[in-house]
Structure 1
Amino acid sequence: MLGPQRRFNVAKPFELEVPEFEHLTYQVEDHMGIVTIRRPQALNALNQDVLMELAAVSEVITQDPLVRVAIFTGEGRAFVAGADIAQIAGLEDVFAAREFAILGQSVFNEIAALPVPTIAAINGFALGGGLELALACDLRVASRKAKLGLPEVGLGIIPGFGGTQRLPRLIGRGRALDLIFTGRHVPAEEALSLGLVNRVGEDALETAKELAAVILKNGPVALALAKEAMGRGENLDLQEALEIEADLFGLACATQDMREGTRAFLEKRPAQFKGE
């Protein structure tokens, strides 16, 4: 479980080592950790190197006490156009293909488990592995020109980075089967109506930043605990899930952020949360 003191409260100057990335950039802006995948010549397609860098940047975000919301986006006209087809075509047997799928699943599981809210800023094509990356984020915003889909069956394969599992959990089995069986590309407005994205705007990154700014007004420990409660409880029966919620509610009430939040409400002023 996330320890509020361990994640946000830094008692001494903190120097974070950020590795050099070849295929992505990482920057922190107003408590937003912004990850931009930069392989535009391949429409940001995911090969093994990109996946390993996404795993590394996830570790950076986990350790960075300045980051309270993480945003993932892509450079150019694609968010991520999918897994690298050349690499998939080179998979020689069942075992190699399975290992590639497990790599993608593991990386996206790390992103899903980040202790801060995560937003996919879908600036263009989010297909195959790209949509699976977006599905691993907590929230998704799309530009009006975005196209989303899982077209793998047209290549004679199936989604392998979590798409067959996360998509039906998000939009329902029937709608997910429609998208997977047809392999069609869904425009942003239809994605919004399906519940596949949360918001649509002219500029995906700016829309994501606006959403993040609203989230950042709230207590960072409370956000982390709310995310943990939903994640741990979603596959349990209701009573077990409610017990987890009660435990985490108790932890939230033991924080200085709770004292500040309730005091600020009673004093009719904005709260100044410190993540403690």
Structure 2
Amino acid sequence: MMKVIYEKRGEVAWIIFNRQEKINALDKESWILLSQHLRNADKDEEVKAVILTGKGRAFSAGDDIHAMYELKTYEEAVDFFNSLFQAIDSLITLTKPLICLVNGLAYGGGCEILLFCDITIALKEAKFSIPEGRLGLIPPMAISVGYNALGRVINRLVLTGEEIDSQEAKNIGLVDYVVENLDEGLNKVMEMLNRVSPTSILTMKRWLMRSKRDEVEKAVKELTLLSLSEEAKRRMYEFIKSREKSKRV
């Protein structure tokens, strides 16, 4: 089973998180596939826009905590988080409009990805949270580019890890449109995009993301070290055990 699906539908490339049993959590393979699919879409001259979404009840629950807990050496951690950064870099350098369809919960890295989307459309029942601090970790995308994207509210989101709904996400600028039907919302956005010159879009995309790469890379390197710390390992272990216990109840 492909963990991240790539489908070309006419002039639109669809990238779909496909680990429903893991709430679309992102392991090393998932990050690699996301990066590859983004770059393939960017190279395809027929593709005019890229859609990113998830299957099932989640957009993405973020990094796979089990996979991170299993990282034992610095080399393993570097390998894992380099895959993550390459995917972020593909988001940053994408020259096609990126539309995120949030079909359910968007937690951790799944929520942070939205900071790199050009347009985010969310269902009314979607939920958002950036809870990495509870695991002794940091959200590298949120702390590096989040303030420029959302302002001071990012401080509250990363320091408390609280969950917010779609309406609040729209109020703070994380989400652009809250809808009851994602297809209808997407059709309206595509109609607007199709009125804009492709040359203008290409130029604007290059300017909009050009300053983000270095800060994100530094934050990912710090996360690499934190993921091996005794506290992070303890908190990840406790999280895993609590999830296992809740499934047995």
2:146 corresponds to which of 145, 163, 167 = 167
Q: Which of 1 and 2 has greater Rg? A: 1
Give the C-alpha shift of residue 231 in structure 1: 3.0
Q: How far apart are the structure 1 equivalents of 2:16 and 2:187?
A: 13
Query: What's 2:85 paired with?
Result: 105
How far off is 1:93 after superposition? 4.2
Alpha carbons of structure 1 residues 75 and 206: separation in structure 2 relative to 1, 3 Å: farther
Higher relative CO (CA 8 A, sep ≥ 6), structure 1 or 2?
2
TM, length-normalised to structure 1: 0.72
Q: Does 1:218 align with 2:196?
A: yes
- Structure 1 unmatched runs, 5+: 1-20, 236-276
CA contact (8 A) 2:92 2:210 kept: no
Q: Which of 153, 157, 177 is equivalent to 2:133? A: 153
Give the Cα–Cα distance (whole angstroms) in 1 for the partners of residues 167 and 161 of structure 2: 17
Partner of 2:245: none
TM-score (norm 2): 0.79
Distance in 2 between residues matched to 1:213 and 1:30, nearest whole Å: 15
Of 90-99 and 30-39, the range deviating more from structure 2: 90-99
> Is 1:40 matched with 2:20?
yes
Mark the CA change 1:96 to 1:207 in structure 2 (over 3 Å): closer, same or farther.
same
> How do residues 80-229 of structure 1 correspond to structure 2 at under 5 angstroms?
80-94=60-74, 96-160=76-140, 162-172=141-151, 174-229=152-207
Superposed displacement of residue 38, structure 1: 0.9
Count of aligned residue pairs for this structure pair: 213
CA pair 184-98 structure 1, distance change in 2 beyond 3 A: farther
Describe the shift of the 1:205–1:82 C-alpha distance in structure 2 as closer, same or farther (beyond 3 A): farther
TM-superposed CA distance for 1:95, in Å, is 5.2
Which residue identity is paired with 1:168? Y
> How far, CA to CA, are the matches of 1:87 and 1:63 in structure 2?
31
